[in-house]
Each structure stands twice: as structure tokens, then as C-alpha cells.
Amino acid sequence: MTTQSRKVLLTGASGALGRQITRHMAAKGFQLVLTDIAPFPDEIPPGCSFHKADLADGMAILRLAEGCGTILHFGGCSVERPFSEVLMPNIAGLYHIYEAARREKARVIFASSNHAIGFHERSEKLDADCQMLPDGYYGLSKAYGELMGRMYWYKHGVENVSIRIGSSLPEPRNERALSTYMSFGDVCRFCEAATVASHVESYTIWGASNNARSYWGADDREKIGWAPTDSADGYAAQLTGVKTQDIATETYQGGPYADIDRTRTDIAKPLFK
């Protein structure tokens, strides 16, 4: 069986994005193995199953991945937290996911985040191969996940696509989101395209809708035949000027995450241009 015709393991299934992806992928006929540490709040689609599991439990992840051709990895800590809380789900958890993928010869689709590059300034237009510049422990775990994908591709041939998601919400809420917004529909269509793509190596793609004010440029999207179809542009009139009073939040692409636990009082000189 090909990667595309085998079962799909979805971690983080009970989260905001996981629930959307579940609905979309099930409607497209994929047989899903759903997992999360929290109970699944919706009806489980026909032909799918849900299994409560902790990403820190490597044996559980290996068992769940059995027979799967794709792992959509949307689980783990999804906001900035102290290092001790990020460590097991996001660092050890990624290792468990990649080891399971290696054993099953499965493809990994990894929900990375703009916080892997969050200390780049908003005035910069970045390509996906830009310098990583995480804005906290959460962003650092996403940078680690992207690099883990690189390493597993070169060392073990594990196919992977990291999507560096901006702000995926029901709708954009502030001026920054006019640049970073990614609609739920675009996330779901991305997951489908990355799952069915016939050839994947180790790719990085910006996770944003088709926003005129995007901070982000070239990436690997054409290689999987995906392009966003939604846009934040229709919110520009109502959100332009909706800012915070905080200088770091307004300077950096990572927005408020750049300010969490920050002890510097000045703005750092840009390291990369």
C-alpha cells in the first residue's frame, strides 16, 4: 500500500485545529486514528477511532502509528509555557512521533509555528529557509521539530512537511493577523494536499492564507501542489490600527509571544537581514 492509501494518525485531534482536520479528512474518506491527551469532544466519524494518549508515552505512540502511512502531528503544547511544561509533549513527543514514522515508513506533517522565527522584525519579508529565531520555549520546540524533520529525512528517508502556522483562528482579530491569519479551511486543505502528494522530501511551508500583508515569501508549497484560497484582506478596514501598546509585540513577527517573560527593555538590533 502507498503512503497515501494507508491510515492517517492525527495527534492533537481534540484541539481547535484537530477537530477541523478530523471533520475534513474524514469527509474526504481517510481512515483516521485520532489521539489526544484530552477527550475528543465531537462525534467520532464513521471508520475512525479515538485513543487517549500522552505524547510522552513512546510505546503508546508506536502502537497508535501501526499501519499508518501519514502522521499529522498537531499535538503538544500550543502556546508559550515554562520549559518544564514544553519538554515532554513537544521535545520528547516529537522524538516519539519521528521514531514511529521511521518504523512505519510513514510521512510526518508537522504543525510548526511562526514562533520558530518570531524574533524577526515585521518589516522583514522572509523566505522559508530564513534563519530560525524562536521567540520562546514553545517556538524553540517548533524549530527543533523542523530540524528533526531535516535530520530524519537525511538519515532515515522519513518524508516530512512542516507548516509554519501563523494565526489560525475563526477570523483575524488584530492588525498583526492581517499578515499571519490562516483560515481553518486553508489548514484542512493543506493537510489533505500534504497527505496525498506523491513525492515529498523534507519541506517547509508558510502557514498563512493569501494575505496581501504577509511577512512571508518563498517556500515549498508548489512541491505538494497546495496554495491557500482564503485571505485576511477583507478585514483590513476594520483591523488596521488595532494594535497593542507594547513595543516588542508591535516590532516582532511573533507578536505578544516576543514579550512573554522578556527582561530586555530595548529592542535588539536585527541579527539577520
Q: Taking a C-beta distance cutoff of 8 angstroms, is the pair 55, 9 a contact?
A: no
Q: Is 180 in the site for ligand 15L (CB under 6 A)?
A: yes
What is the C-alpha separation between 108 and 214, in angstroms, rounded?
A: 26
Let me know if 44 is exposed, middle or buried by CB neighbors in 10 A (0-12, 13-18, 19+): middle
Which one among 6, 115, 120, 189 touches ligand 15L, defined by CB under 6 A?
115
Question: Which of 87, 169 has the CB closer to ligand 15L?
Answer: 169
- Residue 219 Cα distances to 58, 108, 111, angstroms: 32, 17, 15
Letters for 203-242 (x = contact with ligand 15L by CB under 6 A, - = none) are ----------------------------------------
Which one among 22, 35, 70, 113 touches ligand 15L, defined by CB under 6 A?
113
- Residue 45's region, left for phi above 0, alpha for psi from -120 to 50, else beta, is beta
238 CB-near residues (< 8 Å, 6+ apart):
none
The reply to whether 181 belongs to the active site is no
Q: What single DSSP character describes residue 79?
A: S
Q: Is 249 in the site for ligand 15L (CB under 6 A)?
A: no
Residues, the chain: 273
Q: Is 78 in the site for ligand 15L (CB under 6 A)?
A: yes
Q: Is 162 in the site for ligand 15L (CB under 6 A)?
A: no
Which one among 27, 38, 79, 227 touches ligand 15L, defined by CB under 6 A?
79
Q: Is 179 in the site for ligand 15L (CB under 6 A)?
A: no
Residues near ligand 15L, by CB under 6 A: 78-79, 113-115, 165, 167, 180, 255
Active-site residues: which are they?
138
